[in-house]
Amino acid sequence: MKVIPIKAQAGIVGFESPASEYKGLGLSLEQLIINNPNATFIGLASGESMQGVGIFDGDILIVDRSVEPKQYDVIIANYNNEFVCEIIDITNRRLLSASHIYAPVAISEADTFQLEGVVISAVRLFKKNVELAKCMR
């Protein structure tokens, strides 16, 4: 896939054709957003609790298992046998939502908790991808 570097503001009436001064960078989308292919997986976001950080229901999440989580990173974890996408509060051992509707959840010794990776990117599809939806079921 060739990348055509253009900048366009939402709501503009028109802009010059990107093909007029075509500059193919020769990069794939994978090369642009995935640093460690062997440690990276994708997931599908579900729900509305992470909208405050720009993750919406149906977004594709790019998750890197090799990235060491830092305070307030967005992570994917297995919490009590349920996969969750939350903000990690390492200092206070809590999972935080990006919405004021949901209270922080403390991670206790009695909980099952396994960090699966750090969310490094989210991709929003404006048209549903039927094949992707089949894979994610």
Q: What would the pLDDT profile of 82-98 be if each residue is shown by its tens digit? A: 999 999 999 999 999 99
Whole-number Å distance between alpha carbons of 127 and 2: 21
* Confidence at residue 48, expressed as pLDDT on a 0 to 100 scale: 92
Class of domain 33-135: mainly beta
* Confidence at residue 119, expressed as pLDDT on a 0 to 100 scale: 97
* Confidence at residue 52, expressed as pLDDT on a 0 to 100 scale: 95
Beta strands in 65-137 (DSSP E): 74-79, 82-89, 94-96, 105-106, 113-123
Domain spans, the chain: 33-135
Kindly report, residue by residue over 10-36, the tens digit of the pLDDT: 555 555 655 555 556 667 778 888 889
pTM comes to 0.76
Average pLDDT over residues 108-137: 83
Average pLDDT over residues 4-13: 49
96 with 52: CB under 8 angstroms? no
* Confidence at residue 3, expressed as pLDDT on a 0 to 100 scale: 44
Whole-number Å distance between alpha carbons of 132 and 137: 9
Mean pLDDT rounded to a whole number for the chain: 83
